[in-house]
A and B are shown apart, each in its own frame.
Chain A
Amino acid sequence: MENGGGGGGGGDAFGSSTAPLTWHDFLERMRHPSASDFVKSIKSFITSFSNKAPDPEKDSAAAQEFLANMEGAFRAHTLWAGSSEEELESAGEGLEKYIMTKLFNHVFASVQEDANGDEELFEKMALLQQFVRPENLDVKKAFQNETSWLLAQKELQKINMYKAPRDKLVCILNCCKVINNLLLNASITSNENPPGADEFLPVLIYVTIKANPPQLHSNLLYIQRYRRQSRLVSEAAYFFTNILSAESFIWNIDGQALSMEEAEFQKKMQSARAHLMGLSTGTEGQKPEPSQDTMERGLGLMKASREPDNTASVEGQHAPSQSYVINQDVDGKDKPLANRLSISDLEKKGTADLLKDENISRCFQDYPFLFASAGDLTVDDVESLLNCYKQLVLRYVALSRGLGSNGSLPLPNTQTPSRLQTVKNSAHVVGTEMKNEYGEVRRKTGSSTEDLVLQMDDTGEISS
């Protein structure tokens, strides 16, 4: 049901905070003795799938119908007597999540056609992400912000962590929301007109190519088929349509679509393929990896405060696709990259996230002196306190540099936190060591994502 009033369905779709409550409420009600008939039909619906060959069209129609019927039955049942629309909506969400989590293995990428599509799309994006530049897609300079777009990529890459259609959809919506906010900020700081679809779609396409989440094709089909149709409306429908449109664009991409000669496009695709083959045989494989790792960690650290349990698995899962992230376009390095999120913006954002975090104390458990007062300290603490301080400074400076702030320390941004922990020498030594490694990377592979950040630093046009 489309809610005409203020918030609308789309607003709710973004708010994942209500999801666990919805879920527990649903399970709670299903445990009630009077719900036994519901439980029976849910179970029989789920088992009806187990001995059938997958047929996406029929399965999707059956699931949609079952969800609709059950929602109608909930509405008429005493368990929900006097319940508000929101509570009934929650019950519907809970049911959808339950059913689809159980059916996931049966219906997700279950036919060869879908699996083939996944493989093809993944490979295509792995090639494209090596040479496509924002300007190939009409992203105006004022709106270019590759470092911050990594945040949007991260959101999209979470899509495979979830089984429920709604949760997957929320990953897409969050990705769109990050892009939207970045575009808005950019338009304000650069006095551009407010961003519209002309600005949004190219960035979404770019972010999708760079994120290249495995099985994107199947994920989109799955949402289309199994997200209850009446809830795929409003803003959620708009953004979902946009990612379908991005997928379609990527499938059909050619030279013209990227403002280049077809011959040049084919050549770039070929050399990208050659490069990938090179990577997969392992000759240069380990070179881009450490730098990628840094990127992941740089962002991972920020996210860790919000989602301590999830970060590790995302990174593990997406490492293969991420290692392809390479920027070969030397032109890119002369482009001014204004309007990137400054360290203080990130800090503000992080603070806001932390305040929302229920397990906030866990985020600080590695910093034993944070809540100490001067009187608690003994002479014995001085050494560890000093160590902590040094680590913190090194991490902060490295991160600042990694995120593009124009610091004056010689530390290059390729430093990972863990590396800093092991190298207990002076910042200068670390700096030299990393610089050598960076030089090698550059000579061997042209450039990587890490180089990209360095290129940004080199331009000297960073707003911080």
Chain B
Amino acid sequence: MSSRPPNLTFKLVLLGDGRVGKTSLVLRYVNNVFSEKQEATVQAFYLKKHLVIEGVPVTLSIWDTAGQERFHALGPIYYRDADAALLVYDITDNDTFLRVRKWVKELQQMASKDIVMAIAANKSDLVRSKKYDIQEAESYAATIGSKIFVTSAKSGTGVDEVFIDITTHNRYVLLYTTHCFRPHTLWSPVKASLGSLCERVVFTD
């Protein structure tokens, strides 16, 4: 069993104001792979995506959350044990960016300290004629140690990139890819001392 590659499963929550296009973004991302299958009957609230990062198979379970202001206080119920958060805002609507900043602040206080964040400036197709300015957003992202991606669920721009980035920066994926860390091959007392780190590795049968 241990000769098979383990499967890392991560929980990614989508946070973003209502109508910023969270759902379309994730459907765009997941459907690209299953494009030959018609998935019209599949719901978009909870989706799984299998991907391989530098030879390491990873499963993302993507949790959509309701973005309306009235549901804001429910956030922690969803992101408490999340490995990653994708913060989505509408590039044409500055208020939705302010919501992102609010979530980031909360995540820093209440989520796991290892949580990986990335920001998607969505609906970029709407501003093709104008020149959009994401400088402020970019420097903000830098201060919180994450990156910003200009995305369009409509054209597909930047969608794969943001999900791949967020997965690559996961602590466990980093351990695998950069340090060849293989917890399942470890001697069990060492494993025990590493604690929860090893538990995150879930073996497929």
Q: Please give the residue numbers on chain A whose beta carbons come within 8 Å of chain B beta carbons, in ascending order.
A: 1-5, 8, 10, 85, 137-138, 180, 183-184, 188, 193-198, 200-202, 234-235, 238-239, 241-242, 244-245, 248-249, 252, 256-259
**Residues in chain B near residue A241, CB distance under 8 A:** 63, 77-78
- Whether A180 and B59, one on each chain, are in contact in the complex, defined by CB atoms closer than 8 angstroms, is no
Interface majority SS (helix, strand, loop, mixed), chain B: mixed
Instruction: Please list 5 pairs of residues, one from A and one from B, whose beta carbons are closer than 8 Å in the complex, sorted by A's number.
Output: A2-B202, A180-B43, A193-B23, A198-B22, A256-B70
In the complex, how many angstroms separate the beta carbon of A41 from the nearest chain B beta carbon? 25
Interface pair A196/B44, CB less than 8 Å apart: yes
Residue B90 at the chain A interface, CB threshold 8 Å: no
B204: shortest Cβ distance to chain A, in Å?
A: 5
CB neighbours (8 Å) of B41 from chain A are 184
B83 within 8 A of A: no
Residue of B nearest to A204 (CB): B66
Nearest CB of B to A355, in Å: 19
Using known A-B contacts A85-B205, A196-B44, determine if residue A249 contacts B23 with beta carbons closer than 8 Å: no
B46 touches A138 (CB 8 A): no
| Interface set of B (CB-CB < 8 Å, partner A) | 7, 9, 14, 18-19, 22-24, 26-27, 40-41, 43-46, 48, 50, 57, 59, 61, 63-68, 70-71, 73-74, 77-78, 202-205
Chain A residues in 8 Å Cβ range of B7: 2, 4
Partner of B45, one of A200, A234, A257, A259: A200
Q: Tell me whether B59 and A4 are in contact (CB under 8 A).
A: yes
B14 cross-chain contacts in A, Cβ below 8 A: 197
Q: In the complex, given contacts A1-B203, A138-B18, what are 4 additional A-B residue pairs having Cβ atoms less than 8 angstroms apart?
A: A1-B202, A4-B7, A197-B65, A198-B23
Nearest-neighbor residue (CB-CB) of A180 within chain B:
B43
A contact residues around B46 at 8 Å (CB): 10, 234-235, 238-239
CA A10 to CA B59, docked complex, whole Å:
14
Q: Tell me which residues across on chain B come within 8 A of A252, comparing CB atoms.
A: 73
Known contacts A197-B66, A198-B18; A4/B50 CB under 8 A: yes
User: Distance (Å) between the CB of B91 and the closest chain A CB?
Assistant: 18
CB-CB < 8 A to A256: which residues of B?
70
Closest to A193 in B: B24
- Taking a contact as CB atoms closer than 8 A, the residue among A197, A238, A239, A259 that contacts B70 in the complex is A259
Which of B40, B63, B67, B204 is the one whose CB lies under 8 Å from A238?
Answer: B63
Chain B residue with Cβ nearest A234: B61
Among B7, B22, B74, the most chain A Cβ lie within 10 Å of the Cβ of: B74
A258 to B66, CA, bound (A): 15
Q: Which residues of A contact B40 (CB under 8 A)?
A: 184, 188
A200 pairs with B63, CB closer than 8 A: no
- Could you say which residues of chain A place their CB within 8 Å of the CB of B45? 180, 195-197, 200, 238, 242
Beta-carbon contact of B66 and A2 below 8 Å: no
> Are A184 and B23 in touch, CB under 8 angstroms?
no
* Residues B74 and A198 in contact, CB atoms below 8 Å apart: no
- In the complex, are the beta carbons of A197 and B23 less than 8 A apart? yes
Give the distance in Å from the alpha carbon of A258 to the alpha carbon of B68 in the complex: 12
Closest to B57 in A: A4
- Taking CB atoms, residues of chain A closer than 8 Å to B204 are 3-5
A201 with B9: CB separation less than 8 A: no
Please judge, given known A-B contacts A193-B24, A196-B44, whether A4 and B9 are in contact too, CB under 8 Å.
Answer: yes
Task: Give the distance in Å from the alpha carbon of A2 to the alpha carbon of B26 in the complex.
Answer: 21
From B18, B27, B65, B77, give the contact of A244 (CB < 8 A): B77
CB neighbours (8 Å) of A248 from chain B are 73-74, 77
How far, in angstroms, from A3 to B202 measured CA to CA in the complex? 9
* Chain B, Cβ-Cβ closest to A235: B46
Q: Which of chain A's residues has its CB closest to B16's CB? A: A198
For residue A137, which residues in chain B have a CB less than 8 angstroms away from its CB? 70
Q: Is the CB–CB distance between A257 and B9 below 8 Å?
A: no
Which residues of chain B are near A2, meaning CB under 8 Å? 7, 9, 59, 202
B44 touches A194 (CB 8 A): yes
Residue of B nearest to A137 (CB): B70
Contacts of B61 in A (CB 8 A): 234, 238
Q: Which residues of B contact A183 (CB under 8 A)?
A: 43
A258 — nearest CB in chain B belongs to which residue? B70
A3 to B204, CA, bound (A): 6
B48 touches A8 (CB 8 A): yes
Contacts of B205 in A (CB 8 A): 1, 3, 85
- Chain A residue with minimal CB distance to B39? A194
B70 near A198 (CB under 8 angstroms)?
no
CA gap between A1 and B202 in the complex, in Å: 7
Determine the chain B residues whose CB is within 8 A of the CB of A193 once the complex forms.
Answer: 23-24
CB distance from A242 to the nearest CB of B (A): 8
For the complex formed, measure the closest distance between the CB of B66 and the CB atoms of chain A, giving whole angstroms: 4
Q: A196 is contacted by which of B22, B48, B78, B203 (Cβ under 8 Å)?
A: B22
- List of A residues within 8 angstroms of B202 by Cβ: 1-2, 4
CA distance A201 to B73 in the complex (A): 13
Identity of the chain A residue whose Cβ is nearest the Cβ of B19 in the assembled complex:
A198
For the complex, give the distance between the alpha carbons of A255 and B111 in Å.
28
Separation in Å of the B21 CB from the closest CB of chain A? 8
Contacts of B19 in A (CB 8 A): 198
Residue in contact with B64 in the complex, picked from A138, A197, A258, CB distance below 8 Å: A197
Given the known inter-chain contacts A180-B43, A194-B44, A198-B66, please indicate yes or no for A245 contacting B74, CB distance below 8 A.
Answer: yes
Q: How far is the CB of A178 from chain B (nearest CB, A)?
A: 12
| CB pair B9 A195 closer than 8 Å | no
Which residue on B lies nearest to A85, using beta carbons? B205
Contacts of A201 in B (CB 8 A): 65-66, 71, 74
- Measured between C-beta atoms, what is the minimum distance from B205 to chain A in Å? 5
A138–B27 touching, CB < 8 Å? no
Decide yes or no: A198 and B78 within 8 Å by CB, A2-B9, A193-B24 being known contacts.
Answer: no
